[in-house]
Structure 1
Amino acid sequence: MPATFSRLIYRQPQPADVQRLFAIFGDPQTNLFNPAGPMATLDDAQRLLDRWLGQWAAEGYGWWAIARNEAPEHIIGFGGIAPLNYLTEQRINLGYRFAVEAWGQGYATELGRDALALAFETLGVPEVFGLVRPDHAASIRVLEKIGMQPFGTLDDVPGKSPSRVFRICHPTTAFA
Protein backbone atom coordinates (compact mmCIF):
# COMPACT_ATOMS: atom_id res chain seq x y z
CA MET A 1 0.00 0.00 0.00
CA PRO A 2 1.52 3.35 -0.97
CA ALA A 3 2.08 5.89 1.77
CA THR A 4 0.26 9.21 1.39
CA PHE A 5 1.62 12.44 2.85
CA SER A 6 0.10 15.85 2.16
CA ARG A 7 -0.26 16.40 -1.57
CA LEU A 8 2.01 13.58 -2.63
CA ILE A 9 1.92 9.80 -2.78
CA TYR A 10 5.16 7.88 -2.24
CA ARG A 11 5.64 4.25 -3.15
CA GLN A 12 8.43 1.81 -3.78
CA PRO A 13 9.49 1.93 -7.44
CA GLN A 14 8.28 -0.94 -9.59
CA PRO A 15 9.78 -2.56 -12.71
CA ALA A 16 7.06 -0.92 -14.82
CA ASP A 17 8.39 2.54 -13.81
CA VAL A 18 11.43 2.25 -16.06
CA GLN A 19 9.92 4.27 -18.94
CA ARG A 20 8.89 7.13 -16.66
CA LEU A 21 12.27 7.05 -14.93
CA PHE A 22 13.96 7.35 -18.31
CA ALA A 23 11.63 10.18 -19.37
CA ILE A 24 12.52 12.21 -16.26
CA PHE A 25 16.22 11.33 -15.94
CA GLY A 26 16.77 11.54 -19.71
CA ASP A 27 15.28 15.05 -20.00
CA PRO A 28 18.06 17.63 -20.58
CA GLN A 29 16.15 20.20 -18.50
CA THR A 30 16.15 17.98 -15.40
CA ASN A 31 19.90 17.58 -15.79
CA LEU A 32 20.98 21.21 -16.11
CA PHE A 33 23.14 20.85 -12.99
CA ASN A 34 24.14 17.21 -13.48
CA PRO A 35 27.74 17.06 -14.72
CA ALA A 36 27.03 13.64 -16.28
CA GLY A 37 24.18 15.08 -18.33
CA PRO A 38 20.90 13.35 -19.14
CA MET A 39 20.52 9.61 -18.99
CA ALA A 40 21.34 8.29 -22.46
CA THR A 41 19.47 4.99 -22.83
CA LEU A 42 16.61 2.95 -21.48
CA ASP A 43 19.24 0.40 -20.39
CA ASP A 44 20.76 3.09 -18.16
CA ALA A 45 17.34 3.65 -16.61
CA GLN A 46 16.93 -0.08 -16.08
CA ARG A 47 20.31 -0.30 -14.31
CA LEU A 48 19.38 2.60 -12.00
CA LEU A 49 15.97 1.10 -11.26
CA ASP A 50 17.57 -2.29 -10.55
CA ARG A 51 19.95 -0.59 -8.10
CA TRP A 52 17.01 1.10 -6.36
CA LEU A 53 15.07 -2.17 -6.17
CA GLY A 54 18.13 -3.84 -4.69
CA GLN A 55 18.35 -1.08 -2.09
CA TRP A 56 14.70 -1.62 -1.16
CA ALA A 57 15.24 -5.38 -0.91
CA ALA A 58 18.35 -5.02 1.25
CA GLU A 59 17.36 -2.09 3.48
CA GLY A 60 13.57 -1.82 3.30
CA TYR A 61 13.71 1.78 2.10
CA GLY A 62 15.14 3.85 -0.74
CA TRP A 63 14.07 6.33 -3.35
CA TRP A 64 10.32 6.54 -3.87
CA ALA A 65 8.29 6.93 -7.03
CA ILE A 66 6.30 10.13 -6.41
CA ALA A 67 2.85 11.08 -7.70
CA ARG A 68 0.23 13.69 -6.85
CA ASN A 69 -2.76 12.56 -4.79
CA GLU A 70 -5.14 13.57 -7.58
CA ALA A 71 -3.22 11.57 -10.22
CA PRO A 72 -1.71 8.56 -8.44
CA GLU A 73 -0.86 6.71 -11.68
CA HIS A 74 1.28 9.56 -13.07
CA ILE A 75 4.78 9.70 -11.60
CA ILE A 76 6.08 13.27 -11.34
CA GLY A 77 9.45 12.37 -9.87
CA PHE A 78 11.65 10.09 -7.84
CA GLY A 79 13.39 10.84 -4.59
CA GLY A 80 13.92 10.15 -0.94
CA ILE A 81 16.78 8.89 1.17
CA ALA A 82 19.28 6.14 0.44
CA PRO A 83 22.90 5.31 1.21
CA LEU A 84 25.30 7.06 -1.16
CA ASN A 85 29.06 6.86 -1.35
CA TYR A 86 30.63 10.25 -0.72
CA LEU A 87 33.88 9.13 -2.32
CA THR A 88 35.15 6.72 0.36
CA GLU A 89 32.46 7.28 3.01
CA GLN A 90 28.88 6.02 2.84
CA ARG A 91 26.21 8.42 4.10
CA ILE A 92 22.43 8.57 4.13
CA ASN A 93 21.72 11.00 1.32
CA LEU A 94 18.57 12.94 0.46
CA GLY A 95 18.02 13.29 -3.26
CA TYR A 96 15.29 13.88 -5.81
CA ARG A 97 14.55 14.54 -9.44
CA PHE A 98 11.20 15.87 -10.60
CA ALA A 99 9.73 16.19 -14.08
CA VAL A 100 9.74 19.78 -15.36
CA GLU A 101 5.92 19.85 -15.09
CA ALA A 102 6.29 19.53 -11.28
CA TRP A 103 8.81 22.33 -10.79
CA GLY A 104 8.00 25.46 -8.80
CA GLN A 105 5.16 23.91 -6.78
CA GLY A 106 6.99 23.10 -3.55
CA TYR A 107 7.11 19.36 -4.16
CA ALA A 108 10.88 19.08 -3.55
CA THR A 109 10.50 20.80 -0.18
CA GLU A 110 7.56 18.56 0.72
CA LEU A 111 9.45 15.44 -0.35
CA GLY A 112 12.48 16.58 1.65
CA ARG A 113 10.46 17.06 4.84
CA ASP A 114 8.72 13.70 4.42
CA ALA A 115 12.01 11.91 3.71
CA LEU A 116 13.58 13.45 6.83
CA ALA A 117 10.57 12.32 8.87
CA LEU A 118 11.14 8.77 7.62
CA ALA A 119 14.86 8.99 8.35
CA PHE A 120 14.53 10.33 11.88
CA GLU A 121 11.14 9.13 13.15
CA THR A 122 10.98 5.68 11.56
CA LEU A 123 14.54 4.63 10.77
CA GLY A 124 16.26 6.52 13.59
CA VAL A 125 19.28 7.50 11.52
CA PRO A 126 21.57 10.00 13.25
CA GLU A 127 22.08 12.36 10.31
CA VAL A 128 21.10 12.92 6.70
CA PHE A 129 23.22 14.61 4.06
CA GLY A 130 22.43 16.40 0.81
CA LEU A 131 24.86 16.81 -2.06
CA VAL A 132 24.26 19.69 -4.46
CA ARG A 133 26.17 21.38 -7.25
CA PRO A 134 27.37 24.83 -6.12
CA ASP A 135 25.40 26.68 -8.83
CA HIS A 136 22.07 24.91 -8.24
CA ALA A 137 20.40 27.72 -6.29
CA ALA A 138 16.90 26.15 -6.29
CA SER A 139 18.09 22.91 -4.68
CA ILE A 140 20.24 24.80 -2.19
CA ARG A 141 17.11 26.77 -1.15
CA VAL A 142 15.17 23.51 -0.73
CA LEU A 143 17.86 22.04 1.54
CA GLU A 144 17.96 25.23 3.59
CA LYS A 145 14.14 25.35 3.89
CA ILE A 146 14.05 21.85 5.38
CA GLY A 147 16.66 22.78 7.97
CA MET A 148 19.82 21.39 6.42
CA GLN A 149 23.01 23.34 7.11
CA PRO A 150 26.19 23.70 5.06
CA PHE A 151 28.63 21.00 6.14
CA GLY A 152 31.49 21.31 3.66
CA THR A 153 32.36 20.43 0.11
CA LEU A 154 33.08 17.25 -1.81
CA ASP A 155 35.42 17.22 -4.80
CA ASP A 156 33.36 14.59 -6.61
CA VAL A 157 33.41 15.80 -10.22
CA PRO A 158 36.87 15.92 -11.81
CA GLY A 159 37.60 19.29 -13.39
CA LYS A 160 34.54 20.97 -11.82
CA SER A 161 33.94 23.01 -8.69
CA PRO A 162 33.34 20.81 -5.63
CA SER A 163 29.76 19.94 -4.72
CA ARG A 164 28.31 21.51 -1.60
CA VAL A 165 27.44 19.14 1.23
CA PHE A 166 24.54 19.91 3.58
CA ARG A 167 23.66 18.01 6.74
CA ILE A 168 20.89 17.78 9.29
CA CYS A 169 21.19 15.80 12.53
CA HIS A 170 18.47 13.77 14.21
CA PRO A 171 16.71 16.22 16.55
CA THR A 172 17.64 14.18 19.65
CA THR A 173 21.31 14.02 18.70
CA ALA A 174 21.71 17.59 17.41
CA PHE A 175 23.14 18.83 20.71
CA ALA A 176 24.89 15.65 21.84
Structure 2
Amino acid sequence: MQNRHSRLSYRQPQPADVQQLLAIFGDPQTNLFNPAGPMPDLAAARRLLAHWMEQWATHGYGWWAIVRKEAPGHIIGFGGIAPLNYLTQRRVNLGYRFAVEAWGQGYATEVGRDALVLAFETLGLPEVFGLVRPDHVASIRVLEKIGMQPFGLLDDVPGQAPSLVMRVCHPTTAQD
Protein backbone atom coordinates (compact mmCIF):
# COMPACT_ATOMS: atom_id res chain seq x y z
CA MET A 1 0.00 0.00 0.00
CA GLN A 2 1.29 3.42 -0.88
CA ASN A 3 -0.11 6.94 -0.81
CA ARG A 4 1.56 8.77 -3.69
CA HIS A 5 2.01 11.91 -1.59
CA SER A 6 3.47 9.94 1.28
CA ARG A 7 7.11 9.88 2.34
CA LEU A 8 6.58 6.28 3.41
CA SER A 9 5.98 2.89 1.84
CA TYR A 10 4.22 -0.02 3.49
CA ARG A 11 4.43 -3.73 2.92
CA GLN A 12 3.40 -6.97 4.56
CA PRO A 13 5.97 -8.09 7.17
CA GLN A 14 8.20 -11.01 6.16
CA PRO A 15 10.26 -13.55 8.13
CA ALA A 16 13.45 -11.69 7.17
CA ASP A 17 12.19 -8.65 9.15
CA VAL A 18 12.65 -10.39 12.51
CA GLN A 19 15.95 -8.69 13.43
CA GLN A 20 14.61 -5.22 12.61
CA LEU A 21 11.44 -6.00 14.56
CA LEU A 22 13.50 -7.00 17.61
CA ALA A 23 15.68 -3.88 17.26
CA ILE A 24 12.58 -1.65 17.45
CA PHE A 25 10.41 -3.61 19.90
CA GLY A 26 13.39 -4.55 22.08
CA ASP A 27 14.60 -0.95 22.50
CA PRO A 28 13.82 0.34 26.02
CA GLN A 29 13.19 3.84 24.61
CA THR A 30 10.42 2.63 22.28
CA ASN A 31 8.81 0.92 25.29
CA LEU A 32 8.68 3.84 27.71
CA PHE A 33 4.87 3.62 27.78
CA ASN A 34 4.63 -0.16 27.45
CA PRO A 35 3.94 -1.74 30.87
CA ALA A 36 5.27 -5.07 29.55
CA GLY A 37 8.63 -3.47 28.79
CA PRO A 38 10.95 -4.20 25.86
CA MET A 39 10.64 -7.39 23.82
CA PRO A 40 13.03 -9.85 25.50
CA ASP A 41 14.50 -11.91 22.67
CA LEU A 42 14.46 -13.21 19.11
CA ALA A 43 11.94 -15.94 20.00
CA ALA A 44 9.41 -13.28 21.07
CA ALA A 45 10.07 -11.34 17.85
CA ARG A 46 9.48 -14.50 15.80
CA ARG A 47 6.20 -15.15 17.64
CA LEU A 48 4.93 -11.60 17.02
CA LEU A 49 5.96 -11.75 13.36
CA ALA A 50 4.21 -15.12 12.94
CA HIS A 51 1.07 -13.63 14.54
CA TRP A 52 1.14 -10.68 12.13
CA MET A 53 1.66 -12.95 9.13
CA GLU A 54 -1.25 -15.11 10.27
CA GLN A 55 -3.47 -11.99 10.48
CA TRP A 56 -2.51 -11.08 6.92
CA ALA A 57 -3.32 -14.61 5.74
CA THR A 58 -6.66 -14.65 7.60
CA HIS A 59 -7.93 -11.08 7.13
CA GLY A 60 -5.96 -9.77 4.14
CA TYR A 61 -4.55 -6.89 6.17
CA GLY A 62 -2.54 -6.27 9.31
CA TRP A 63 0.40 -4.31 10.59
CA TRP A 64 2.78 -3.06 7.92
CA ALA A 65 6.54 -2.92 7.82
CA ILE A 66 7.18 0.81 7.31
CA VAL A 67 10.08 2.24 5.31
CA ARG A 68 11.05 5.65 3.97
CA LYS A 69 10.62 5.74 0.19
CA GLU A 70 14.25 6.81 -0.24
CA ALA A 71 15.52 3.90 1.92
CA PRO A 72 13.25 0.92 1.11
CA GLY A 73 15.56 -1.67 2.68
CA HIS A 74 15.56 -0.06 6.15
CA ILE A 75 12.48 -0.54 8.33
CA ILE A 76 11.80 2.48 10.57
CA GLY A 77 8.71 1.05 12.20
CA PHE A 78 5.72 -1.23 12.17
CA GLY A 79 2.09 -0.21 12.33
CA GLY A 80 -1.32 0.00 10.77
CA ILE A 81 -4.60 -1.65 11.63
CA ALA A 82 -5.27 -5.18 12.82
CA PRO A 83 -7.86 -7.05 14.88
CA LEU A 84 -7.05 -6.91 18.59
CA ASN A 85 -8.84 -8.28 21.62
CA TYR A 86 -9.79 -5.51 24.03
CA LEU A 87 -10.10 -7.97 26.90
CA THR A 88 -13.21 -9.86 25.71
CA GLN A 89 -14.21 -7.61 22.81
CA ARG A 90 -12.58 -7.85 19.37
CA ARG A 91 -11.91 -4.50 17.71
CA VAL A 92 -9.95 -3.21 14.74
CA ASN A 93 -7.10 -1.39 16.41
CA LEU A 94 -4.75 1.20 14.94
CA GLY A 95 -1.24 1.13 16.33
CA TYR A 96 2.40 1.80 15.53
CA ARG A 97 5.88 1.58 16.95
CA PHE A 98 8.81 3.44 15.44
CA ALA A 99 12.57 3.30 15.86
CA VAL A 100 13.83 6.28 17.88
CA GLU A 101 15.54 7.66 14.74
CA ALA A 102 12.08 8.15 13.18
CA TRP A 103 10.50 10.03 16.11
CA GLY A 104 9.31 13.62 15.81
CA GLN A 105 8.95 13.63 12.02
CA GLY A 106 5.19 13.16 11.72
CA TYR A 107 5.42 9.54 10.57
CA ALA A 108 2.92 8.24 13.14
CA THR A 109 0.31 10.73 11.91
CA GLU A 110 1.03 9.76 8.29
CA VAL A 111 0.71 6.04 9.04
CA GLY A 112 -2.47 6.67 11.03
CA ARG A 113 -4.08 8.60 8.18
CA ASP A 114 -3.05 5.98 5.60
CA ALA A 115 -4.35 3.17 7.84
CA LEU A 116 -7.72 4.93 8.11
CA VAL A 117 -7.89 5.24 4.31
CA LEU A 118 -7.37 1.47 4.13
CA ALA A 119 -9.93 0.85 6.89
CA PHE A 120 -12.68 3.07 5.53
CA GLU A 121 -12.16 3.36 1.76
CA THR A 122 -10.81 -0.11 0.95
CA LEU A 123 -12.17 -2.37 3.71
CA GLY A 124 -15.36 -0.41 4.46
CA LEU A 125 -14.97 -0.87 8.21
CA PRO A 126 -17.51 0.98 10.39
CA GLU A 127 -15.00 2.15 13.02
CA VAL A 128 -11.39 1.95 14.11
CA PHE A 129 -10.09 2.10 17.67
CA GLY A 130 -6.84 3.13 19.27
CA LEU A 131 -5.60 1.98 22.66
CA VAL A 132 -3.15 4.29 24.42
CA ARG A 133 -1.61 4.62 27.85
CA PRO A 134 -3.09 7.67 29.64
CA ASP A 135 0.35 9.29 30.13
CA HIS A 136 1.47 8.89 26.50
CA VAL A 137 0.75 12.48 25.46
CA ALA A 138 2.46 12.26 22.04
CA SER A 139 0.42 9.23 20.96
CA ILE A 140 -2.82 10.72 22.26
CA ARG A 141 -2.06 13.83 20.18
CA VAL A 142 -1.46 11.70 17.05
CA LEU A 143 -4.77 9.86 17.51
CA GLU A 144 -6.62 13.15 18.00
CA LYS A 145 -4.93 14.61 14.90
CA ILE A 146 -6.27 11.77 12.73
CA GLY A 147 -9.80 12.30 14.05
CA MET A 148 -10.05 9.87 16.95
CA GLN A 149 -12.04 10.90 20.00
CA PRO A 150 -12.19 9.51 23.54
CA PHE A 151 -14.48 6.48 23.68
CA GLY A 152 -13.83 4.98 27.09
CA LEU A 153 -11.33 3.30 29.38
CA LEU A 154 -9.98 -0.24 29.36
CA ASP A 155 -8.55 -1.70 32.55
CA ASP A 156 -6.08 -3.87 30.65
CA VAL A 157 -2.91 -3.58 32.74
CA PRO A 158 -3.22 -4.94 36.30
CA GLY A 159 -2.04 -2.44 38.90
CA GLN A 160 -1.85 0.45 36.40
CA ALA A 161 -4.18 3.25 35.36
CA PRO A 162 -6.64 2.11 32.67
CA SER A 163 -5.73 2.64 29.03
CA LEU A 164 -7.63 5.25 27.05
CA VAL A 165 -9.77 3.90 24.24
CA MET A 166 -10.04 6.27 21.28
CA ARG A 167 -12.34 5.78 18.29
CA VAL A 168 -13.07 7.18 14.85
CA CYS A 169 -16.12 6.17 12.84
CA HIS A 170 -16.38 5.69 9.09
CA PRO A 171 -17.05 9.17 7.63
CA THR A 172 -20.40 8.11 6.12
CA THR A 173 -21.61 6.47 9.34
CA ALA A 174 -20.34 9.17 11.70
CA GLN A 175 -23.80 10.75 11.91
CA ASP A 176 -25.38 7.65 13.49
TM range (shorter): over 0.9
Counterpart check, 1:4 vs 2:2:
yes
Question: SS at the partner of 1:77?
Answer: strand
Q: Give the match for residue 132 of structure 1.
A: 132
If the length of structure 2 is used for normalisation, what is the TM-score? 0.98
User: In the TM superposition, what is the alpha-carbon distance from 1:89 to its structure 2 partner?
Assistant: 0.2
1:81 and 1:15 map into 2 onto residues whose CA distance is: 19
Paired residues in the alignment total 174
Cα-Cα RMSD: 0.4
Is 1:108 matched with 2:111? no
Matched, 1:49 2:49: yes
Partner of 2:28: 28
Return the letter of the residue paired with 2:89: E
Q: 1:14 is matched with which residue?
A: 14
Listed one character per residue, the Cα deviations across residues 34-57 of structure 1 (whole Å, up to 9, x for unaligned) are 000000010000000000000000
After TM superposition, list the pairs within 5 Å mapping 1:1-176 onto structure 2: 3-5=1-3, 6-176=6-176
Q: What TM-score, normalized by structure 1, do the two folds share?
A: 0.98
Identity %, equivalent residues: 80
Runs of 4+ in 1 over 2 A off after TM superposition: none
Secondary structure (helix, strand or coil) at the match of 1:66 reads: strand
Q: Secondary structure in 1 aligned to 2:84? A: strand
Query: 1:25-81: per-residue Cα shift (whole Å, max 9, x none)?
Result: 000000000000000010000000000000000011000000001001100000000
After superposition, what is the alpha-carbon deviation per residue over 1:77-97, rounded to whole angstroms, capped at 9, x for unaligned?
A: 000000000000000000000
Deviates more, 1:30-39 or 1:3-12: 3-12
